[in-house]
Structure 1
Amino acid sequence: MAPHNGLMHGTEYKVEGSNVELIGSDIDHRVKYVSAATEPAWNNGVVGVQPGLFVWRIEDFQVVPVSQSKIGIFYDGDSYIVLHSYKLGNSEKRLLGHEIYFWLGSHTSQDEAGTAAYKTVELDEFLQGTASQNREVQASPSLGFLNLFPQRITIRHGGVATGFTHVEETVEERAKAARKTMLLRVFKQPGVRSGQGIIVHEVEPVPSSLDDDDVFVLDAAGSDAVYVWQGRNCSPMEKAKAAEVAQDLLTPAHKDGVQVLAQDEGRSGVVVRLLEEAAGSQKPPAEATSSYRSARPVSQRQTVADAPKKTLWRLSDASGQLSFSLEREGSNAQLADFDTNDVFLWDDAGRMVWVWEGLGASGGERAQWLRVAQAYVQRLGAQAGLRELPPMGKVREGYESNAFLLSLQA
């Protein structure tokens, strides 16, 4: 398998209309063809039996386990499936609850995204339909997803070869990748639990990527040190995590170890000069500027001023025809508002859209929820002017996730 470094980015994957049109498509048939009657990834004697965090990456239509030491590292050219299994209450039967997330990198391919979506449904079936299902997008992750990684989540450039488009590396490309300059941005995502939510995101190694509010770790090609550049407004937690990241990058070639530079120190200009050299700048060596501003590569999900109110919708075919009707608006819903005979869509004011499936829902209702929910979030984004479409999750009656229950109380 080709390594991550040096792989070219594909076309940026547009997730707004993803995975719905794949049903019954060539991708769907290919996935079904290559999928064994019993998926080895799920049948290891641990999945569905023991609590824990499990991660798989999609490689050539196959679900490949990510080693425990690599959990929390994602590549923007790939698609992943993440399973969080946890104990339910204090039951002596050791019953488990399950949350499934399929994570789509911004440069993942159509076949990888389709496989991740399909295999997510398959994993839910393996868990007897008790898991919540959540779609995660690289540029705007949900807080529930970030909370799964108490240390940090790292997003790097690159990806494995895909089932349809194989990316081959030449010897020259591999050598160039080994010498490349890498700049990592370290920041805390607002709203995540205290002590969590640190994101380490690879960014373009240029001076304009710097920002006063965050910490940056620079591993420059040919440099004898790994540099930590601390923005003047960064937090102690960001400083601490950046130090850990820098230590992880050290190799015998880094004879000078880790060099920590505060933005307002005169010597912090060495980071700017190294970035300009990496970009091939012909300008004279630059000094650090008084201030840097750049948009974070991961945005915080927020509603806008004219975003819709909290709403509860019912999807039902009890009348003989499938209908989608408003049940409640402007206030929190209660579990008692959900009818076991139907499917419901709970819109938490644009922050998250949940689908709740009743145990007595008809086959038609269960078959149509994905199409209806996808159309709903697209319309919501267009009408409310949301920068990012809200994340979407699905739960089943009696197996509601903590994130879903909290959304009813917020």
Structure 2
Amino acid sequence: MAPNHGLVHLKEYDIKDSNVELIGSDLDHKVKYASAATEPAWNDGHVGLVPGIFVWRIENFAVVPVPKQAYGQFYDGDSYIVLHSQQIKKKKTDPAEETENEPPKLSHTIHFLLGAHTSQDEAGTAAYKTVELDEFLHGAATQHRELQARPSPGFLSLFPRVTFRRGGVASGFRHVPQDEEKDEEEILTLLRVFRNPSTSPGAGADAVIVYEVPAMWTSLDENDVFIVEQGASAGGKIWVWQGKKCSPMEKARAAQVVHDMKLAKRVDVEVVSQAEARSRVVVRMLGGGEEDGFGSLTAERPLVGSRPSSSASSSGGGAAGSRKLFKLSDESGRLEFGLVKENEVVLRGDLDGDDVFVLDDAGRTIWVWEGQGASKAEKATWLRVAQAYVRRLQGEQENGDAYLTPVAKVREGSESTAFLRVIGVA
């Protein structure tokens, strides 16, 4: 019996919905602070104390560390939390003021990644635990909501290679740990290897994506490299299919992926180019007929580029250069959310430390800036307001992808470099 038969599927999380309605309330902060103090994942003697990358996966509401050798490998049925702690460069000071054994000062960025088929429980736990981790780090972390369909360049830059495979802890999809044998010997796996699709320069621009796609010949694209892994009954061979327009870098990166797979599985590898007649073997292996695959082969890449599509630009998602700044304030006695600036340069002086601001950076990222003097109500409402704004953008689009817009939050005094670049400070 196939491994997904007879299993009960948890309700899949609709990425367009809000799953964090209670985040930010005064009670929520108290509960999280108390919970964080006893959360084993945060209290390992390293989190918040030493620089580095830490990755956890949500398993049955628990935060479970991912082995370091599996960093960068994700399953589409799961949700993850990734912490990146960096040492802050010290300013030149009087040597007499320096003390030995002083712990390094760190800046923190938290990414919670929602797989394309993660469950509501997992998505909610990842979001909730992310805020708890921020509490553990004394509220100094920048928080990023990451979606599998559009991971941010900053997230991709954390790993030399990012892999998205089918499967998950609580889903009915196939999930085979590396140290276990496959239940189905005839499983045929197709991996697509390509560079980061982001058109934005900077972090993550050279990241390599390895993405499992449907094992069909129509998944092939002449611009990329594909890896076909045959099941044990077919000899366990690995095939590399190079599209005729793929780049030398994609060939090189695919070779690295295959090298690692070969070492782990001890199987034979054969490389074929689309231009070779031999490449027809791969097309037939993936279900194609004798007449299939002779013309141009194109298949949409599984990741959406980080810049908004034309539909998003025309519907309020923002075109390049058009930004919108909103203020969330209860100064009048009730919470109000209003537009402050549109199609203008946003400056640091536009941000009042007594309020919360939402900056739509031309559809690239929705930034939430929380002033140190913001009220409890403002702090409790920021994420609901940000997600409501994203839903409004989605409603203005027809078959658009505004719901994929990254959402990030920073606090006054602990702003990330990426945010400071947006407002022209860094």
SS of the aligned residue for 2:146 comes to strand
1:106 equivalent in alignment to 2:116:
yes
Q: Which residue of 2 aligns with 1:248?
A: 260
Q: Distance in 2 between matches of 1:15 and 1:288?
A: 34
Q: Which residue of 2 aligns with 1:387?
A: 401
1:357 equivalent in alignment to 2:370:
yes
1:190-224: CA deviation from partner (whole Å, max 9, x where unpaired): 33647722110001111000001111011122235
Shift of 1:369: 0.7
Q: Distance in 1 between matches of 2:87 and 2:418?
A: 15
Q: Distance in 1 between matches of 2:129 and 2:80?
A: 10
Q: Distance in 2 between matches of 1:197 and 1:406?
A: 21
CA RMSD of aligned residues (A): 3.1
1:154 equivalent in alignment to 2:159:
no
Is the deviation greater in 354-363 or in 375-384? 375-384
Shift of 1:56: 0.2
1:405 equivalent in alignment to 2:420:
yes
Please point out which of 225, 239, 247 is paired with 1:235: 247
Shift of 1:81: 0.3
What amino acid maps onto 2:90 in structure 1? N
1:206-247: CA deviation from partner (whole Å, max 9, x where unpaired): 100000111101112223531111111111111111111112
What amino acid maps onto 1:153 in structure 2? V
Q: 1:56 to 1:223 in 2, by over 3 A?
A: same
Within 5 Å, which residues of 2 pair with 1:4-403?
12-21=12-21, 38-91=38-91, 94-149=104-159, 151-161=160-170, 176-189=183-196, 190-191=198-199, 193=202, 196-221=206-231, 222-223=234-235, 225-250=237-262, 257-276=268-287, 288-303=293-308, 304=310, 305-306=313-314, 307=316, 308=318, 309-385=322-398, 386-389=400-403, 390-403=405-418
Indicate conservation of the 8 Å contact 2:10/2:170, yes or no: no
Q: Distance in 2 between matches of 1:290 and 1:269?
A: 12
Indicate conservation of the 8 Å contact 1:182/1:218, yes or no: yes
Shift of 1:178: 4.4
Which runs of 5 or more structure 1 residues have no equivalent in the other structure?
A: none
Which runs of 5 or more structure 2 residues have no equivalent in the other structure?
A: 92-97
Shift of 1:383: 1.9
Indicate conservation of the 8 Å contact 1:78/1:112, yes or no: yes
Shift of 1:328: 1.4
Q: 1:22 to 1:291 in 2, by over 3 A?
A: farther
Indicate conservation of the 8 Å contact 1:247/1:258, yes or no: no
Shift of 1:9: 7.3
SS of the aligned residue for 1:273 comes to helix
TM-score (norm 2): 0.83
Shift of 1:177: 3.2
Indicate conservation of the 8 Å contact 2:168/2:175, yes or no: no
1:225-282: CA deviation from partner (whole Å, max 9, x where unpaired): 3111111111111111111111222269765x22111111111111112112xxxx7x
TM-score (norm 1): 0.86
What amino acid maps onto 2:19 in structure 1? N
Q: Distance in 1 between matches of 2:22 and 2:300?
A: 33
Indicate conservation of the 8 Å contact 1:9/1:107, yes or no: no
